[in-house]
C-alpha cells in the first residue's frame, strides 16, 4: 500500500481529480475561517457536516405543518404517521440488515437502555456484562445502572476487558481467550463496532460467534461504525445494536438514533420490554385499548412518535449515501484516504507522533488516533495550534487527537495540508 503514495502536492491533486466521489463535497456546507477560506474539517466522527439538501427536506415538513397541521399525520405526500418507515430500507442497507430489523427512534443511550431491559436477563450464575476498558462513558453508565437495577454490585457485574500491556487495541484472540475463561458467568457482551478512543474496528461476526458459543447475548454500539465501515448485522447474527446518526450519518446535532434487533428476536412477541404506544400493533393502535401487542420486528420497541423534522434530516443524508452507491465505494475511498494520512504521518512525523489506531486497514475506519510524543510541546498545545491554523478535529483526554477524513466530503489535498500544519504546530 505504501508504494502507491507520493508526498508532493501534485499527487494529492491528482488523487482528488481522479476521485469518482469528488462531486459529493459540493453537497455539504464546509465551515469557513474568518478569512473566508474553508476549514480542514476532520471531525465527522463527532458531528458530520450539514448536507445542503437537508434544508429543503426539513422545510418541506415545516410547510406541511403550516398548511395541514394535524392532518399531515395522514394526508399529503409522505404522511407523518408512517414517515419513519421511509428510513427503514436505506438505513438497513447501510448496516447490513433487513428493513424490519431496523428502526429510527430516540437517542443512542435511550435505545441502549431499551435493549438492555430486553436482553440483559441475568441469573445468579450468569449475571456479568463484558465491555471494553475505556468504553464510551454512556455505555459504561448504562451497563452499571442495569446491573445495579437487577440487584447486582456493578463492581463485580461489569467486566472491563483491557488489551495486553503496551498495546492500545484489543485483539479478537484476547476476546476469545477471555470468553473461554469467563464466558459461563457472562450474560451479555457489549462492544463497539469502532472504538471511539482508539479508532479500532472490531470483528463483529467473530465476536458474535464467540459470545453465542458461550451462551452470551451479543450487542454492539455502532456510533462510530454506522456510515463509516461496512456492516453485516443480520448475517453476523448480532442480537441487537444501537447507533446515533449525527456523526458519519450527517443528520445534525442531537438527532434521532437507530436500533437493530435481529429478526429471530423481533418476531418473538414474548420478549420482555419497556413498552410504549408507538410500538403497539398498528392496526389496533388507535383503539386505545389496554394490553400491549408489539409490532413484530424492531418497530415493536418504539415508545413514542418520532420527531419528524429530525427524521427529515436523516432522510436527506441517507439519500446522499444512496447516490454515492452505499458503503462499498465509500469504504474503498476511505481506505485510501486514511492510508494516505497514515503514510504521510509515518514519513514526515514518525519521531514526533504516535499512531495507536491499528495499522491493519481492516481493523479501523477512517479515524486515526494520534498522540504527540513527549517533547518540548505538549499534545494539548499542538491541538490548539492546529485549530488556530484552520483544522477542526477533536481532543480526547488525556492525550489523544482524533483525526477523521470522511470519504463523502474530505479530499486528499486536505490530508496533505493537515500534515504540514501538524508538523508546524509540533515545531
Mark whether 165 and 208 lie in a shared domain.
yes
Give domain status of residue 114, yes or no.
Answer: yes
Q: How many helices (H) and strands (E) does the chain have?
A: 14, 15
Give domain status of residue 43, yes or no.
Answer: no
User: Rounded mean pLDDT of 141-158?
Assistant: 98
- What backbone torsions phi and psi does residue 395 show, to the nearest 5 degrees? -110, 135
Q: CB-based burial of residue 413 (10 Å sphere; 0-12 exposed, 13-18 middle, 19+ buried)?
A: middle
Whether 376 shows a pLDDT value over 90: the answer reads: no
The helix/strand/coil state of 66 is helix
Mark whether 161 and 275 lie in a shared domain.
yes
Share of the chain above pLDDT 70, in %: 99
Give domain status of residue 48, yes or no.
Answer: no
Whether 2 shows a pLDDT value over 60: the answer reads: no
The helix/strand/coil state of 128 is strand
Mark whether 152 and 14 lie in a shared domain.
no
Residue 3 binned pLDDT confidence (cut-offs 50, 70, 90) = very low
Give domain status of residue 346, yes or no.
Answer: yes
Mark whether 221 and 353 lie in a shared domain.
no
Whether 63 shows a pLDDT value over 90: the answer reads: yes
Q: What b/e string do you get for 217-241 counting C-beta neighbours within 10 Å, with b at 16 or more?
A: bbbbbbbbbbbbbebebbebbbbbb
User: Rounded mean pLDDT of 174-185?
Assistant: 97
Structural domain count, the chain: 2
Q: What is the CATH number of the domain that holds 388?
A: 3.90.1150.10
Please state the pTM of the whole predicted model: 0.96
User: Rounded mean pLDDT of 131-139?
Assistant: 96
Whether 229 shows a pLDDT value over 60: the answer reads: yes
Give domain status of residue 163, yes or no.
Answer: yes
Q: How many residues does the chain have?
A: 427
Of 268, 289, 323, which residue is a domain's last?
323
User: Rounded mean pLDDT of 409-419?
Assistant: 98
Mark whether 210 and 335 lie in a shared domain.
no
Mark whether 163 and 301 lie in a shared domain.
yes
Of 292, 323, 354, which residue is a domain's last?
323
User: Rounded mean pLDDT of 315-331?
Assistant: 98
Q: Cβ neighbours of residue 144 under 8 Å, at least 6 residues apart?
A: 154, 158
pLDDT computed for residue 168 by the predictor: 86
pLDDT computed for residue 246 by the predictor: 98
Spatial separation of the C-alpha atoms in residues 371 and 383, rounded to whole Å: 10
Mark whether 86 and 145 lie in a shared domain.
yes
Of 306, 323, 340, which residue is a domain's last?
323
Q: CB-based burial of residue 362 (10 Å sphere; 0-12 exposed, 13-18 middle, 19+ buried)?
A: exposed
Mark whether 255 and 380 lie in a shared domain.
no
User: Rounded mean pLDDT of 381-389?
Assistant: 97
Which residue did the predictor score with more confidence, 376 or 45?
A: 45
Q: Which residues are catalytic?
A: 136, 221, 246-247, 402
pLDDT computed for residue 1 by the predictor: 44
Give domain status of residue 39, yes or no.
Answer: no
| DSSP 8-state assignment for residue 76 | S
Residue 167 binned pLDDT confidence (cut-offs 50, 70, 90) = confident
Residue 165 binned pLDDT confidence (cut-offs 50, 70, 90) = confident
Whether 71 shows a pLDDT value over 90: the answer reads: yes
Whether 234 shows a pLDDT value over 60: the answer reads: yes
Average pLDDT, the chain: 96
Q: What is the CATH number of the domain that holds 256?
A: 3.40.640.10
Cα Rg, the chain, nearest whole Å: 22
Domain that holds residue 147: 59-323
pLDDT computed for residue 289 by the predictor: 93
Mark whether 114 and 26 lie in a shared domain.
no
User: In Å, how far from its chain's centre is CA 344?
Assistant: 26
Mark whether 316 and 333 lie in a shared domain.
no
- Of the candidates 314, 397, 403, which has an alpha carbon nearest to the alpha carbon of residue 136? 397
Whether 263 shows a pLDDT value over 90: the answer reads: yes
The helix/strand/coil state of 90 is helix
Whether 132 shows a pLDDT value over 70: the answer reads: yes
Share of the chain above pLDDT 90, in %: 97
Amino acid at each position: 500500500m505504501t508504494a502507491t503514495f507520493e508526498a508532493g502536492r501534485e499527487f494529492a491533486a491528482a488523487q482528488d481529480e481522479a476521485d469518482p466521489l469528488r462531486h459529493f463535497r459540493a453537497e455539504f456546507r464546509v465551515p469557513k475561517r474568518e478569512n473566508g477560506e474553508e476549514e480542514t474539517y476532520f471531525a465527522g466522527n463527532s458531528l458530520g457536516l450539514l448536507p445542503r439538501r437537508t434544508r429543503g427536506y426539513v422545510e418541506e415538513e415545516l410547510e406541511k405543518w403550516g398548511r395541514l397541521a394535524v392532518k399531515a399525520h395522514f394526508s399529503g405526500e409522505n404522511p407523518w404517521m408512517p414517515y419513519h418507515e421511509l428510513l427503514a430500507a436505506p438505513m438497513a442497507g447501510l448496516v447490513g440488515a433487513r428493513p424490519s430489523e431496523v428502526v429510527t427512534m430516540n437517542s443512542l443511550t435511550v435505545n441502549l437502555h431499551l435493549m438492555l431491559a430486553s436482553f440483559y436477563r441475568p441469573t445468579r450464575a450468569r449475571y456479568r456484562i463484558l465491555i471494553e476498558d475505556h468504553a464510551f462513558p454512556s455505555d459504561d453508565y448504562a451497563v452499571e445502572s442495569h446491573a445495579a437495577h437487577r440487584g447486582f454490585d456493578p463492581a463485580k457485574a461489569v467486566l472491563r476487558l483491557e488489551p495486553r500491556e503496551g498495546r492500545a487495541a484489543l485483539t479478537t484472540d484476547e476476546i476469545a481467550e477471555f470468553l473461554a475463561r469467563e464466558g459461563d458467568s457472562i450474560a451479555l457482551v457489549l462492544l463497539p463496532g469502532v472504538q471511539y478512543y482508539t479508532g479500532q474496528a472490531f470483528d463483529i461476526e467473530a465476536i458474535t460467534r464467540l459470545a453465542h458459543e458461550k451462551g452470551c447475548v451479543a450487542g454492539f454500539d455502532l456510533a462510530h461504525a454506522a456510515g463509516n465501515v461496512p456492516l453485516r448485522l443480520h448475517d453476523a447474527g448480532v442480537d441487537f445494536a444501537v447507533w446515533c446518526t449525527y456523526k458519519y450519518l450527517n443528520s445534525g446535532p442531537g438527532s434521532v438514533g437507530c436500533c437493530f434487533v435481529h429478526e429471530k428476536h423481533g418476531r418473538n412477541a414474548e420478549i420482555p420490554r419497556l413498552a410504549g404506544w408507538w410500538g403497539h400493533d398498528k392496526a389496533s393502535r388507535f383503539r386505545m385499548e389496554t394490553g400491549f401487542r408489539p409490532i413484530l420486528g424492531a418497530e415493536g420497541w418504539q415508545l413514542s412518535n418520532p420527531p419528524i423534522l429530525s427524521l427529515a434530516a436523516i432522510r436527506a443524508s441517507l439519500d446522499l449515501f444512496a447516490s454515492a452507491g452505499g458503503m462499498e465505494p465509500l469504504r474503498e475511498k476511505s481506505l485510501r484516504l486514511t492510508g494516505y494520512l497514515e503514510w504521510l504521518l509515518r514519513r514526515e512525523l514518525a519521531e514526533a507522533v504516535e499512531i495507536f489506531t491499528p495499522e491493519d486497514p481492516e481493523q479501523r475506519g477512517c479515524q486515526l488516533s494520534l498522540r504527540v510524543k513527549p517533547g518540548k510541546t505538549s499534545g494539548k498545545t499542538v491541538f490548539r495550534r492546529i485549530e488556530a491554523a484552520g483544522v477542526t478535529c477533536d481532543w480526547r483526554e488525556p492525550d489523544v487527537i482524533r483525526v477523521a477524513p470522511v470519504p463523502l466530503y474530505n479530499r486528499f489535498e486536505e490530508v496533505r495540508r493537515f500534515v504540514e500544519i501538524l508538523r508546524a504546530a509540533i515545531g
